């Protein structure tokens, strides 16, 4: 019985800000948004392993797919958050987000997104378009010359299912360490010249945004502080650490199971 394995070893990409304006939705978003479109185009080849022969599958034509998503520009500051946004998107495009080429694509999207977000030419715009174009060749490796029908869709679905069931390759923090190492603090407005160390010792910190939910840490509210001193809403960071043992800001590692 023939078996087949699919690889794309020549995945290439380019990420840039297009000249087209994104569609305007009302009401206007309160924070600057990135509208990312990923367009994917693949050709197909077959490799007969026993004879080491390659055949272009012209009759298969080109595979083309694209997806568009909007997310808060501030999410680019948090790699794990962006990975959670883009990982499922790449899976739907039949790509493995854990593969080295895909990680390079994610890094380039972050780099270009931050760049256009700080560009003077984009000042005042609420939605910034970002285009990623990916192309390459899917190679089907079969172990005998006479092909037996093999469903690519099944292989891709299995890959996507494994990726999802592994919680996007994230490792949760140890529950006992979360209870022990997370500290409760009170968010207060403090004097600007007060040292950070003094604020931490007193269990209070200046109001800012929780980078997990992107909502404000309101003055007078309770929050939770990681050992690395970054603070979040208590519910947000506890839920986060059930999925990932990294600090969402600095990637400080909590103990794992």
In this predicted model, what pLDDT tens digit does every residue of 133-147 receive, in sequence order?
999 887 877 765 444
Place of tokens 């409760």: 184
Quote the CA–CA distance of 140 and 77 in Å, as a whole number.
38
pLDDT at 106: 94
Lowest mean pLDDT among 90-94, 167-171, 172-176, 200-204: 200-204
Lowest mean pLDDT among 71-85, 117-131, 205-219: 205-219
User: For the segment 95-126, what is each residue's pLDDT rounded down to a tens digit?
Assistant: 888 888 889 999 999 999 999 999 998 888 89
CB 224 within 8 A of CB 238: yes
User: For the segment 47-81, what is each residue's pLDDT rounded down to a tens digit?
Assistant: 877 777 888 876 667 788 899 999 999 999 998 89
CATH of 175-241, one of 1.10.3210, 2.60.40, 3.30.60, 3.40.50: 3.30.60
Instruction: Please give the structure tokens belonging to residue 242.
Output: 């059930």
Please give the angle made by the CA atoms of 97, 98 and 103, to the nearest 5 degrees. Answer: 75
Question: Is it the case that residue 165 has pLDDT exceeding 50?
Answer: yes
For residues 207 and 151, the model is more confident at 207
pTM: 0.54
CB 212 within 8 A of CB 175: no
Concatenating the DSSP letter of every residue in 153-212 gives HHHHHHHHHHHHHTGGG--PBPHHHHHHH-EEEEE----TTS-HHHHHHTTEE---B-TT
CATH 3.30.60 domain locations along the chain: 175-241
């Amino acid at each position: 019985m023939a078996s087949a394995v699919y690889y794309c070893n020549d995945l290439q990409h380019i990420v840039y800000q297009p000249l087209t304006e994104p569609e305007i939705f009302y009401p206007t978003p309160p924070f600057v948004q990135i509208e990312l479109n990923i367009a994917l185009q693949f050709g197909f080849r077959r490799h007969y392993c026993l004879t080491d022969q390659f055949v272009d599958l012209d009759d298969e034509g080109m595979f083309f797919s694209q997806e568009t998503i909007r997310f808060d520009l501030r999410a680019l500051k948090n790699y794990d958050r962006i990975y959670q946004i883009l990982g499922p998107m790449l899976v739907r495009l039949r790509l493995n987000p854990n593969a080295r080429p895909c990680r390079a694509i994610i890094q380039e999207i972050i780099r270009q997104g931050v760049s256009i977000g700080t560009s003077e030419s984009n000042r005042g715009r609420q939605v910034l378009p970002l285009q990623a174009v990916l192309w390459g060749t899917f190679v089907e490796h079969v172990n005998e010359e006479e092909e037996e029908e093999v469903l690519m869709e099944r292989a891709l679905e299995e890959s996507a299912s494994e990726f999802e069931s592994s919680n996007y390759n994230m490792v949760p923090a140890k529950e006992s360490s979360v209870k022990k190492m997370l500290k409760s603090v009170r968010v207060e407005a403090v004097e600007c010249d007060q040292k950070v160390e003094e604020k931490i010792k007193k269990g209070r910190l200046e109001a800012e945004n929780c980078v997990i939910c992107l909502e404000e840490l309101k003055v007078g509210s309770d929050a939770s502080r990681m050992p690395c001193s970054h603070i979040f809403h208590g519910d947000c960071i506890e839920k986060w650490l059930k999925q990932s043992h990294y600090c969402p800001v600095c990637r400080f590692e909590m103990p794992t199971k």
